[in-house]
C-alpha cells in the first residue's frame, strides 16, 4: 500500500491559495466527497469531507509521542486550553462551551496523537470556535499556575496552614488515579508495555499517577515546542461549509505564522521478539479474597495499521475467531472452566501504528496461566488445520459492509465519527481516504477470502508462527492499595521534613496565588460568542406514517438511512410481581443471546450475524409527563439490516420474541457472570451516574426501579445471583424458570412496531411485518406495569474498588411539562458554569462536576467525577445554592445557561436516531408539542425565574445524598451522616 493520500484528480477546487489540491474522491457509501489538500508553507495536510450536512466538524490532530509515563501529552492537552495569545483568559475552553451552540467540544489524548475537535450547526459559532481552537493549539500561554492546577502540585492539606500534612493535587493526577483504579485499564497498560518494549506505546500516555509528579513545567513547554507545530499536524473538516472559507480562517489565524519544520515525527517500527514472553504483574483489590480474580491474556503484534489490506485481514480474522459465541476462539473461552468470562481485551487493536491481536480470560487464578495459553493455541491450531465454514467469513464481511454504510451520530456527530475512523491512518501518514472508501478494498478482500485456506493461512502466519507474543497474567494484590498509599504518604512526609520555614511559606503563598487566579473574574467579552438571537427555530419533527394493514400498530419513518432498515418491536410491560420485575435487565441481556427454536445459542448468534447488523433488547420505564408518580414501561426488541435483508430481520425478531429458549443452563450462567464482570468494570468509569441514580432513587418510582435494576443496588443483586449460581445447578434451574415465566408474560402483552428506512423501503418493511407477525396477542384484559409511589430521603455511601470518589446530591422537583422545569434546567447549567467547575474541578481537583434537572424523574442533581474529596464537595454543592441566591447575576450568565440547554435540545441525531427519539417520546407523552413548549419556556427564562426555583426546590433539608468511593472513604460515613452500603455479594 502507498503511504501517499489515495485520491482521484478532480476539476477546479475553490480552496485558499496557501493550500495546493492533491485531488478529491467521491465516496458513494458515505454520500460525501473527500478533498485532500497540502499547506504549501508548512506541509500540513487538510482532509475536507464535503457533505450535505449542516453539522460542520473541525479537528486538528498532532503527533504526540511521549517517551515516559509522566502524562506530558495528556497534561499538555489540558493546559493548552487554559489561555492563549489572543485569548488571555484563564479558561477559554470552558468559557466557550458556555458561549456557544456547539454540538460537540472536547480534546482527546491517545497513545500517539492529541486531537482537538468540535462541531456546530451554526456558521457563526463554527468560526468562533475555530478561532479559539487554532489560537489555543498553536499559540498557547502554558502558564505555570495552569500546569499546577491541571497537572500536579504540592499543597498542605489546609493550603493556608503549613502545619497540616502535605498532599498532592491536580486534575489529571486525580483523573488518572481514577482511571487506573480499573483492572481493565491496568491490564491494557501492562499488556501494551510488554508488546511494545521500545517505542512510545510502552508508556502510559495518560500518565501513571506515580510518575506524573516527575514532570516539570519546563519539560511540558519543551514538549509543546517540539510537537505543536503545523508541520506535525493533520487538519480534518466535515460538512457543508465551503472549504475555501475554512482554509482562509486556518491560514490567517494560524498557519501564516509558521514555516516548514525539517523534523519528521513518527513512531518507528517495534523491535520484534524472537520468542514468546511470559510475564506476571499485580493489580489492586480491596479485601483478602483473591479467588477467581486473575486475568490471563495473550497478545500478538501484527503488521502496520496503515496497510489497509492488512488491517481488513486482521478485522476478518478477529471477527471469525471472536465476534460471537459461534466463533471458535470465543466459544472456547466462554465454555472454559479456567475463568468466568472472556477477557474485556478481545480482538484487534488497530489504532496504533502496528496492530495487536488480544484474547484471554478473566475470573481465573494465577496457576491457570499455562492452561489458558494452551487452550488458546490448541483452538488456533484446530482452526488452522480444519478451517471455518465459508458462511462464517461471509458473515464477518457482511458486518464490515453494514458498519461502513450506517449513518451514526447519536452519541457523537456523524462527521466526527468518520474523521476519527481515519485519524490514525492520517497520523501515521497512511491513507485515510482508503479507510473511508472501503468498496474497492472489500471487493479485493472478498476475492481473497473465497480461497479455502484464507483463514487457516492468516491464523498460522499472523498468530501461530508469530514469535512476538506476550502472555500476561494479572493477579489480584489485596495489599497494593495500602502499600501505594503508604508509600505516597511516606514520600510526602519525607519532603515535608526537609522544608524549612521559608519553603513552607512559599507553598502557602503559591497555593494562595493559585486560588487568587482561580477566583479571578476574567472578562468573557474577550472571547467571541453567539447569543439568543443566533438560535434558529427548532427543527421540525420527522414525518411518519401509520401503517393500516399490520397486525399491531406500526409507524414508518422515511429517513435517509443509506440503504439500511431498522425495526423495533415495542411491547408494553405487564404488571409484574417483584421477583420477575427485578429480572428485566438480565432477561433483556439473555433474550438476544440464547437459542431460538431448534437453534442453539451458537447457531442463533451465527444467524444474527448472517442477516443483520445485530439485534438488541432493553426495557424502559418512565414517569408520566405531568405526574412522576405514575409510570409506564416497555420492552424493546430491535435490530438493523441492509434493506435487502428486511424480511430476514423481521423473521429473526419474530423468532426471537416467540421462540427464545432458556434451557441452555450453562450458557445462562455464563451470561450472568459476564454481565456481572461488565457492570463491575463500569463502576470506576460511571461512578457519577451510579451515585446520581442512588441519590434520586427515593424521588420517583421509575428512579427507584432504575437504581434497583441498573444502579448499585442492581449490581449488588447481580453479584449475589452470580455467586448463588456458581456451583448450584438448582439455582440456575430456578433462574431459568423465572426467565421463562417472564418471557411468557412479555409474549402475551400488547405490542407495536417502529420501522425506519428510506421512503422506497416502506412497502418491503410492511410486507415483512405482515409475513412474520400475522397476529397479535389479545389485550382486552391486559394490566400494564404500575409501580407504587415513592418519596423518601436517601443518605448512602457505597464502598467499591476506587482510588477516588463520586459524589451526588438530589432534590425532588418537577416533570418536563411543568413550567418550572425549564428554569431548573437552566439553573443547573448556570451553577456548573459559574460555580461548580471552579470550586470542585479547579480548586478541589476533581476531574469534573455539574448539576442538572432530570425531567424524567423530577429531580435536580449535583455530581462530581473522579473526585479526591467527599466532605468538601458536598459542602460545595450547598455553597453553590447559597452563592447563587446571595448575589445578582449578569444577563450574560443567564443567557449562557439558555444557550447550553438549547444546544443540548437541538443536538442533531442520526436519521434513524431522530426517528427513534420521536417515536419513543410520543410513547411516553413527550410529544413534539411538549418538547416545543419546554424549549419555548427555556428561551423565556430570566434571572427572577432562576431565583424563584432555587429557593423553592433547593431548600436545606430536602436533599438526598449518595457517594461512591473506595475503602478509604468508609471511615467518613458517620461524620457525613451516611449509611455505608457495600457491593459484596
pLDDT at 438: 86
pLDDT band at 7 (very low <50, low <70, confident <90, very high): very low
End of a domain among 223, 257, 291? 257
Q: What is the pLDDT of residues 19-52, one digit of tens each?
A: 999 999 999 888 899 999 999 999 999 999 999 9
pLDDT at 455: 97
End of a domain among 226, 257, 288? 257
Residue 47 sits in the same domain as residue 143: yes
Q: What is the largest CA-CA distance in the chain?
A: 86
- Is the pLDDT at 18 greater than 70? The verdict is yes
Range(s) of the domain holding residue 647: 545-772
Residue 815 sits in the same domain as residue 747: no
- Is the pLDDT at 84 greater than 50? The verdict is yes
Is 937 or 782 the better-scoring residue by pLDDT?
Answer: 937
User: Is residue 705 included in any domain, yes or no?
Assistant: yes
pLDDT at 981: 95
pLDDT at 946: 97
- Is the pLDDT at 889 greater than 50? The verdict is yes
All residues at 6 or more sequence positions from 250 whose CB lies less than 8 Å from its CB, including other chains: 16, 46, 130, 134, 235
Residue 611 sits in the same domain as residue 748: yes
Q: What is the pLDDT of residues 862-886, one digit of tens each?
A: 999 999 999 999 999 999 999 999 9
- Is the pLDDT at 765 greater than 90? The verdict is yes
All residues at 6 or more sequence positions from 99 whose CB lies less than 8 Å from its CB, including other chains: 128, 524, 527, 528, 529, 530, 896, 899
pLDDT at 3: 37
pLDDT at 932: 97
Residue 731 CB neighbours (<10 A):
16
DSSP notation for 876-899: HHHHHHHHHHTS---HHHHHHHHH
As a whole-number percent, the residues of the chain with pLDDT over 70 amount to 98
Residue 391 sits in the same domain as residue 470: yes
Residue 343 sits in the same domain as residue 402: yes
- Asked if 664 contacts 595 with a C-beta cutoff of 8 angstroms, the reply is yes
User: Is residue 688 included in any domain, yes or no?
Assistant: yes
- Is the pLDDT at 13 greater than 80? The verdict is no
Total domains present in the chain: 4
* Secondary structure E strands in 439-490: 469-477
925-941: average pLDDT? 97
Average pLDDT, the chain: 94
pLDDT band at 764 (very low <50, low <70, confident <90, very high): very high
- Is the pLDDT at 780 greater than 80? The verdict is no
Q: How many CA atoms lie within 13 A of 889 on its CB side?
A: 23
Q: What is the pLDDT of residues 608-639, one digit of tens each?
A: 999 999 999 999 999 999 999 999 999 999 99
CATH number of the domain encompassing residue 626: 3.30.830.10
520-539: average pLDDT? 91
pLDDT at 741: 97
- Is the pLDDT at 708 greater than 90? The verdict is yes
- Is the pLDDT at 169 greater than 60? The verdict is yes
Q: How far apart are CA 442 and CA 434, in angstroms?
A: 11
Residue 614 sits in the same domain as residue 653: yes
Q: What is the pLDDT of residues 454-504, one digit of tens each?
A: 999 999 999 999 999 999 999 999 989 889 989 999 999 999 999 999 999
pLDDT at 727: 83
Q: What is the pLDDT of residues 298-342, one digit of tens each?
A: 999 999 999 999 999 999 999 999 999 999 999 999 999 999 999
- Is the pLDDT at 5 greater than 80? The verdict is no
Q: How far apart are CA 865 and CA 888, in angstroms?
A: 29
User: Is residue 632 included in any domain, yes or no?
Assistant: yes
User: Is residue 616 included in any domain, yes or no?
Assistant: yes
pLDDT at 405: 83
Q: How far apart are CA 17 and CA 436, in angstroms?
A: 27
541-548: average pLDDT? 93
Residue 86 sits in the same domain as residue 194: yes
Burial state string for 461-481 with b = 16 or more CB within 10 A and e = fewer than 16: ebbeebebbbbbbbbbbeeeb
Residue 62 sits in the same domain as residue 145: yes
As a whole-number percent, the residues of the chain with pLDDT over 90 amount to 89
pLDDT at 774: 93
Q: How far apart are CA 408 and CA 335, in angstroms?
A: 34
Q: What is the pLDDT of residues 565-588, one digit of tens each?
A: 999 999 999 999 999 999 999 999
pLDDT at 525: 87
End of a domain among 477, 494, 524? 477
- Is the pLDDT at 821 greater than 80? The verdict is yes
pLDDT at 562: 87
What pTM was estimated for this model as a whole?
Answer: 0.93
pLDDT band at 11 (very low <50, low <70, confident <90, very high): very low
pLDDT at 8: 34
pLDDT at 548: 83
The DSSP symbol for 249 reads H
pLDDT at 773: 96
Q: Look at residues 758, 910, 896, 902 and name the one whose alpha carbon lies nearest to residue 55.
A: 910
pLDDT at 342: 97
Residue 756 sits in the same domain as residue 847: no
65-90: average pLDDT? 96
User: Is residue 500 included in any domain, yes or no?
Assistant: no
Q: What is the pLDDT of residues 199-229, one digit of tens each?
A: 999 999 999 999 999 999 999 999 999 999 9
- Asked if 63 contacts 265 with a C-beta cutoff of 8 angstroms, the reply is yes
745-772: average pLDDT? 95
Residue 409 sits in the same domain as residue 362: yes
525-546: average pLDDT? 93
- Is the pLDDT at 258 greater than 90? The verdict is yes
User: Is residue 486 included in any domain, yes or no?
Assistant: no
Residue 728 CB neighbours (<10 A):
13
According to DSSP, the residues that pair with 751 across neighbouring strands are 571
pLDDT band at 6 (very low <50, low <70, confident <90, very high): very low
- Is the pLDDT at 9 greater than 60? The verdict is no
Residue 847 sits in the same domain as residue 894: yes
Q: What is the pLDDT of residues 264-295, one digit of tens each?
A: 999 999 999 999 999 999 999 988 889 999 99
The DSSP symbol for 596 reads B
Residue 324 sits in the same domain as residue 238: no
Q: Where are the alpha helices (DSSP H) in 626-695?
A: 646-659, 665-695
User: Is residue 2 included in any domain, yes or no?
Assistant: no
pLDDT at 779: 67
pLDDT at 636: 98
Angle at 687 (CA atoms; ends 684, 693), nearest 5 degrees:
155
User: Is residue 93 included in any domain, yes or no?
Assistant: yes
Amino acid at each position: 500500500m502507498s503511504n501517499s493520500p489515495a485520491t482521484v484528480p478532480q476539476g477546479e477546487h475553490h480552496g485558499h491559495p496557501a493550500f495546493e489540491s492533491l485531488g478529491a474522491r467521491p465516496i458513494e457509501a458515505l454520500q460525501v466527497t473527500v478533498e485532500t489538500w497540502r499547506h504549501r508553507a508548512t506541509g500540513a495536510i487538510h482532509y475536507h469531507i464535503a457533505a450535505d450536512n449542516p453539522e460542520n466538524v473541525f479537528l486538528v490532530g498532532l503527533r504526540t509521542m511521549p517517551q515516559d509515563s509522566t502524562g506530558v501529552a495528556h497534561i499538555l492537552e489540558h493546559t493548552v486550553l487554559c489561555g492563549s495569545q489572543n485569548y488571555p483568559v484563564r479558561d477559554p475552553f470552558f468559557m466557550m462551551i458556555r458561549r456557544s451552540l456547539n454540538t460537540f467540544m472536547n480534546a482527546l489524548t491517545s497513545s500517539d496523537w492529541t486531537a482537538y475537535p468540535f462541531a456546530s450547526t451554526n456558521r457563526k459559532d463554527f468560526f468562533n470556535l475555530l478561532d479559539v481552537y487554532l489560537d489555543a493549539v498553536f499559540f498557547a500561554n502554558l502558564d505555570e499556575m495552569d500546569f499546577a492546577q491541571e497537572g500536579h502540585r504540592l499543597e498542605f492539606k489546609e493550603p493556608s496552614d503549613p502545619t497540616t500534612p502535605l498532599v498532592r493535587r491536580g486534575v489529571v493526577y486525580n483523573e488518572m488515579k481514577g482511571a487506573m483504579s480499573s483492572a481493565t485499564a491496568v491490564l491494557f497498560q501492562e499488556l501494551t508495555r510488554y508488546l511494545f518494549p521500545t517505542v512510545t506505546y510502552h508508556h502510559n500516555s495518560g500518565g501513571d499517577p506515580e510518575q506524573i509528579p516527575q514532570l516539570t513545567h519546563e519539560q511540558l513547554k519543551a514538549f509543546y515546542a517540539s510537537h505543536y507545530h503545523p508541520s506535525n499536524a493533520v487538519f480534518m473538516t466535515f460538512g457543508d461549509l465551503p472549504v475555501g472559507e475554512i482554509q482562509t480562517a486556518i491560514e490567517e489565524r494560524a498557519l501564516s505564522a509558521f514555516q516548514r519544520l525539517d523534523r519528521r515525527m513518527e513512531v518507528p517500527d517495534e523491535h520484534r521478539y524472537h520468542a514468546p514472553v511470559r510475564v506476571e504483574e499485580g493489580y489492586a483489590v480491596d479485601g483478602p479474597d483473591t479467588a477467581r480474580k486473575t486475568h490471563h491474556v495473550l497478545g500478538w503484534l501484527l503488521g502496520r495499521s496503515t496497510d489497509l489490506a492488512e488491517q481488513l485481514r486482521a478485522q476478518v480474522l478477529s471477527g471469525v475467531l471472536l465476534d460471537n459465541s459461534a466463533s471458535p476462539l470465543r466459544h472456547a473461552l466462554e465454555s472454559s472452566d479456567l475463568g468466568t468470562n472472556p477477557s474485556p481485551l478481545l480482538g484487534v487493536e488497530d489504532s496504533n501504528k502496528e496492530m495487536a491481536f488480544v484474547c484471554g480470560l478473566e475470573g481465573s487464578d494465577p496457576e491457570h496461566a499455562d492452561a489458558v495459553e494452551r487452550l488458546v493455541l490448541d483452538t488456533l491450531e484446530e482452526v488452522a488445520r480444519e478451517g471455518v465454514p465459508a458462511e462464517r467469513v461471509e458473515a464477518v464481511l457482511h458486518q464490515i459492509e453494514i458498519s461502513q454504510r450506517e449513518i451514526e451520530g447519536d452519541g457523537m456527530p456523524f462527521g466526527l465519527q468518520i474523521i476519527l475512523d481515519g485519524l490514525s491512518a492520517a497520523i501515521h501518514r497512511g491513507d485515510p481516504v482508503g479507510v473511508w472508501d472501503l468498496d474497492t478494498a472489500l471487493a479485493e478482500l472478498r476475492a481473497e477470502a473465497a480461497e479455502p485456506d484464507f483463514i487457516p493461512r492468516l491464523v498460522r502466519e499472523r498468530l501461530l508462527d508469530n514469535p512476538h507474543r506476550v502472555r500476561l497474567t494479572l493477579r489480584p494484590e489485596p495489599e497494593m492499595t495500602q502499600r501505594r498509599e503508604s508509600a505516597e504518604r511516606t514520600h510526602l512526609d519525607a519532603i515535608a521534613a526537609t522544608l524549612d520555614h521559608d519553603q513552607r511559606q512559599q507553598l502557602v503563598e503559591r497555593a494562595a496565588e493559585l486560588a487568587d487566579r482561580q477566583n479571578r473574574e476574567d472578562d468573557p467579552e474577550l472571547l467571541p460568542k453567539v447569543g439568543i438571537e443566533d438560535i434558529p427555530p427548532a427543527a421540525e419533527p420527522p414525518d411518519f406514517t401509520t401503517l393500516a394493514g399490520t397486525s399491531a400498530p406500526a409507524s414508518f419513518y422515511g429517513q435517509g438511512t443509506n440503504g439500511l432498515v431498522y425495526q423495533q418491536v415495542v411491547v408494553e410491560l405487564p404488571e409484574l410481581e417483584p421477583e420477575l420485575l427485578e429480572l428485566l435487565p438480565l432477561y433483556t441481556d439473555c433474550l438476544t443471546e440464547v437459542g431460538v427454536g431448534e437453534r442453539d445459542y451458537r447457531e442463533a448468534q451465527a444467524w444474527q450475524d448472517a442477516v443483520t447488523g445485530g439485534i438488541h433488547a432493553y426495557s424502559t420505564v418512565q414517569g408520566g409527563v405531568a405526574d412522576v408518580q405514575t409510570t409506564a414501561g416497555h420492552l424493546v426488541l430491535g435490530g438493523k439490516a441492509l434493506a435487502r435483508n428486511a424480511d430476514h430481520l423481521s423473521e429473526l425478531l419474530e423468532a426471537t420474541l416467540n421462540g427464545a429458549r432458556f434451557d441452555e443452563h450453562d450458557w445462562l450462567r455464563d451470561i450472568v457472570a459476564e454481565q456481572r464482570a461488565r457492570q463491575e468494570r463500569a463502576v470506576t468509569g460511571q461512578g457519577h451516574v451510579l451515585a446520581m441514580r442512588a441519590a434520586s432513587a427515593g424521588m420517583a418510582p421509575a428512579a427507584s426501579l432504575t437504581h434497583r435494576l441498573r444502579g448499585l443496588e442492581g449490581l449488588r443483586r447481580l453479584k449475589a445471583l452470580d455467586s448463588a449460581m456458581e456451583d448450584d445447578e438448582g439455582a440456575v434451574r430456578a433462574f431459568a424458570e423465572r426467565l421463562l415465566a417472564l418471557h411468557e408474560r412479555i409474549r402475551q402483552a400488547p405490542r407495536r412496531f417502529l420501522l425506519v428506512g428510506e421512503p422506497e423501503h416502506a412497502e418491503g418493511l410492511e410486507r415483512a411485518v405482515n409475513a412474520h407477525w400475522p397476529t397479535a396477542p389479545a389485550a382486552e384484559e391486559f394490566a400494564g406495569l404500575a409501580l407504587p409511589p415513592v418519596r423518601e430521603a436517601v443518605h448512602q455511601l457505597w464502598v467499591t474498588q476506587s482510588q477516588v470518589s463520586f459524589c451526588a446530591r438530589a432534590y425532588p422537583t418537577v416533570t418536563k411539562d411543568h413550567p418550572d422545569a425549564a428554569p431548573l434546567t437552566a439553573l443547573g447549567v448556570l451553577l456548573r458554569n459559574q460555580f461548580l467547575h471552579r470550586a470542585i474541578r479547579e480548586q478541589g481537583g476533581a476531574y469534573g462536576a455539574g448539576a442538572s434537572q432530570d425531567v424524567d424523574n423530577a429531580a435536580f442533581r449535583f455530581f462530581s467525577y473522579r473526585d479526591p474529596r467527599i466532605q468538601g464537595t458536598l459542602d460545595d454543592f450547598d455553597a453553590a445554592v447559597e452563592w447563587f441566591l446571595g448575589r445578582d447575576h449578569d444577563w450574560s450568565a443567564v443567557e449562557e445557561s439558555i444557550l447550553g440547554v438549547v444546544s443540548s435540545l437541538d443536538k442533531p441525531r442520526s436519521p434513524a436516531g431522530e426517528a427513534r427519539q420521536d417515536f419513543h417520546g410520543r410513547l411516553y407523552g413527550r410529544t413534539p408539542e411538549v418538547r416545543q413548549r419546554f424549549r419555548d419556556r427555556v428561551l423565556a427564562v430570566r434571572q427572577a425565574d432562576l431565583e424563584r426555583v432555587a429557593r423553592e426546590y433547593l431548600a436545606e433539608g430536602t436533599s438526598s445524598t449518595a457517594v461512591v468511593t473506595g475503602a478509604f472513604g468508609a471511615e467518613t460515613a458517620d461524620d457525613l451522616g451516611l449509611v455505608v452500603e457495600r457491593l459484596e455479594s
